[in-house]
């Protein structure tokens, strides 16, 4: 009985299979590369629509983080300040500065400034600022020394392993709640020991199970 397929069919089939397989792998790799969220990268530092210096405002002028990010101690999310907050000062301080043109236009028209979010967790992650601030986790723990940054950048990985490590051993990152926005605070003594005392007093027990952050 004559063979249905020629001997060369095996080779052709293998070649076609290899090409299809490589194409699929290349396509997946290309999609992963192009869709990779740059906002989870350490060093992510987008150019904002208005040049705002945290080093000047939070550092040299000593403005408290809560003045602009007013919801972090009472809500899950950190508010981006409205233009009214900016103009609360800049209606008197350098009101005609060309660098503030977009701020003045926003204030006059009511059109918000489209700031770019830097510390952006995935949608499947639940993070509550109020819980962390109340526990005594400083802004510097997750955001770094923003009071020394002209342009804010991401300094911490903010991945699951990094968060879980802190939940398993939170003591080194816990301080008196009144000092959470004092980014240059240097504890007198072992910070972990200070943290352990606060944890005991407040009976803190950060979750390490999945439902703690994925809801």
Q: Token pair of 148, please?
A: 């020394």
DSSP 19-42: HHHHHHHHHHHHHHHHH--GGGST
Q: Which region among 12-16, 30-34, 104-108 has the lowest average model confidence (pLDDT)?
A: 30-34
Q: What is the C-alpha separation between 119 and 161, in angstroms, rounded?
A: 16
Report the pLDDT value the prediction gives residue 41, as an integer from 0 to 100: 79
pLDDT of 26 over the 70 cut:
no
Q: What is the C-alpha separation between 209 and 215, in angstroms, rounded?
A: 11
What band does 32 get if pLDDT is binned at 50, 70 and 90? very low
The pTM of this model reads 0.77
pLDDT of 48 over the 70 cut:
yes
**Which of the pair, 205 or 25, is modelled with greater confidence?**
205
Q: Where are the alpha helices (DSSP H) in the chain?
A: 8-35, 54, 65-68, 83-90, 101-109, 129-135, 139-143, 160-168, 191-202
Report the pLDDT value the prediction gives residue 215, as an integer from 0 to 100: 84
Mean pLDDT within 155-180 = 95
């Amino acid at each position: 009985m004559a063979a249905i397929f020629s001997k060369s069919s095996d080779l052709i089939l293998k070649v076609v299979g290899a090409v299809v397989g490589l194409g699929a792998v290349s396509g997946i790799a290309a999609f992963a590369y192009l869709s990779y969220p740059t906002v989870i990268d350490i060093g992510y530092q987008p150019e904002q629509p208005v040049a705002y210096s945290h080093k000047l405002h939070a550092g040299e002028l000593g403005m408290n983080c809560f003045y602009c990010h007013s919801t972090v101690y009472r809500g899950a999310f950190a508010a981006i300040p409205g233009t009214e907050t900016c103009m609360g000062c800049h209606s008197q301080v350098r009101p005609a500065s060309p660098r503030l043109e977009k701020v003045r236009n926003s204030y006059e028209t009511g059109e918000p400034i489209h700031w770019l979010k830097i510390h952006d967790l995935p949608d499947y992650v639940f993070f509550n600022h109020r819980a962390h601030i109340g526990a005594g986790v400083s802004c510097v723990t997750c955001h770094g020394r923003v009071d020394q940054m002209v342009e804010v950048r991401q300094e911490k990985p903010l991945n699951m392993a990094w968060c879980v490590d802190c939940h398993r051993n939170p003591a080194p990152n816990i301080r008196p709640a009144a000092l959470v926005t004092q980014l240059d605070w240097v504890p007198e003594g072992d910070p972990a020991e200070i943290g352990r005392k606060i944890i005991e007093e407040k009976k803190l027990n950060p979750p390490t199970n999945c439902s703690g952050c994925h809801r």
